[in-house]
């Protein structure tokens, strides 16, 4: 599969029962971009990300991720996509070292040196035998592990939520200086506008089930469409 965009969404409708959350949503995420997704609580950001991973099945519409069709080619997508959710959870009986070994066994491709490098940046290696993690540590660990298979696309659902200021800084530095710099596309939801302004090159806003605004950050800045991004 080959395609220009990392994510292509055409007329997507997704519901929970009779409750339509996404209603004819369109979005194109260029390869290599750092794409920030804004939207109020309950707007459907998590639902959208889960649909990209093939976890939610659309009622209608087309969703292609790295040229693969979501749901139908879910395995192809999960082999190439990293995912950090708001509430990353791990097998509680495994420590960091064991989690890495498990990933190495289950992933098609695994670069432990890179994972060790990221763990180091978060000062997590000293905790390699730890198996109970705080919320923020889970997020840090989820990022480190999600990068182990050197994904072409990284999906992040409110990733810096709950991180302390230093961990937040490390997290954002890894995203910009290592992940994006290596050509990986990053698609992340956030409520923190200064954070989006600091790292994203594209922004979209989801409202009432649709993307109501999407553009390059520089265009939004110069047109003053989102004053807070100025």
Q: Is 41 in the site for ligand ATP (CB under 6 A)?
A: yes
Q: Is 46 in the site for ligand ATP (CB under 6 A)?
A: yes
Instruction: Provide, rounded to whole angstroms, the least separation between the CB of residue 57 and ligand ATP.
Output: 13
Q: Is 45 in the site for ligand ATP (CB under 6 A)?
A: yes
> What is the rounded end-to-end Cα distance, in angstroms, of the chain?
38
Q: Please identify which residue in 9, 25, 38, 39 interacts with ligand ATP, judged by CB under 6 A.
A: 39
Q: Is 42 in the site for ligand ATP (CB under 6 A)?
A: yes
Q: Please identify which residue in 21, 163, 175, 229 interacts with ligand ATP, judged by CB under 6 A.
A: 21
Q: Is 16 in the site for ligand ATP (CB under 6 A)?
A: yes
Instruction: Provide, rounded to whole angstroms, the least separation between the CB of residue 224 and ligand ATP.
Output: 25
What are the E-state strand segments in 75-182? 81-84, 153-157
Backbone angles phi, psi at 225, to 5 degrees: -70, -35
Q: Is 44 in the site for ligand ATP (CB under 6 A)?
A: yes
Whole-angstrom Cα distance, residue 78 to residue 150?
A: 12
In the complex with ligand ATP, the residue whose CB is nearer, 32 or 162, is 162
Among the residue ranges 16-24, 107-115, 192-200, 220-228, the one whose residues contact ligand ATP (CB under 6 A): 16-24
Q: Is 18 in the site for ligand ATP (CB under 6 A)?
A: no
The DSSP H or E segment spanning 7 is strand 5-16
Per-residue CA distances from 92 to 89, 96, 116, 133, 162 (Å): 8, 10, 20, 9, 20
Among the residue ranges 41-49, 120-128, 133-141, 214-222, the one whose residues contact ligand ATP (CB under 6 A): 41-49
Backbone angles phi, psi at 68, to 5 degrees: -100, 150
The DSSP H or E segment spanning 11 is strand 5-16
In the complex with ligand ATP, the residue whose CB is nearer, 161 or 178, is 161
Q: Rounded to 5, what percent of the chain is helix, strand, coil?
A: 35, 30, 35
Q: Please identify which residue in 9, 29, 47, 83 interacts with ligand ATP, judged by CB under 6 A.
A: 47
Q: Are 171 and 159 in contact (CB under 8 A)?
A: yes
Interface residues toward ligand ATP, by CB under 6 A: 16, 19, 21, 39, 41-47
């Amino acid at each position: 599969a080959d395609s220009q965009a990392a994510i292509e969404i055409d007329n997507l409708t997704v519901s929970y029962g009779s409750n339509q959350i996404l209603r004819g949503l369109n979005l194109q995420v260029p390869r290599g971009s750092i794409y920030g997704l804004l939207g109020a609580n309950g707007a459907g950001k998590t639902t959208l990300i889960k649909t990209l991973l093939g976890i939610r099945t659309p009622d209608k519409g087309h969703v292609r991720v790295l040229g693969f069709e979501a749901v139908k080619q879910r395995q192809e997508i999960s082999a190439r996509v990293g995912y950090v959710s708001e509430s990353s959870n791990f097998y509680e009986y495994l420590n960091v070292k064991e989690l890495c070994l498990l990933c190495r066994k289950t992933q098609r491709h695994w670069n432990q040196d890179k994972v060790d490098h990221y763990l180091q940046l978060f000062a997590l290696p000293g905790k390699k035998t730890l198996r109970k993690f705080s919320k923020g540590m889970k997020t840090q660990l989820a990022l480190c592990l999600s990068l182990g298979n050197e994904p072409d696309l990284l999906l992040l659902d409110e990733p810096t939520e709950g991180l302390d200021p230093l961990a937040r800084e490390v997290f954002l530095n890894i995203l910009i200086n290592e992940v994006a710099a290596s050509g990986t596309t990053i698609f992340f939801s956030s409520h923190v506008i200064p954070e989006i302004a600091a790292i994203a090159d594209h922004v979209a806003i989801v409202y009432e089930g649709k993307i109501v605004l999407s553009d390059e950050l520089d265009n939004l800045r110069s047109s003053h469409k989102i004053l807070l991004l100025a």
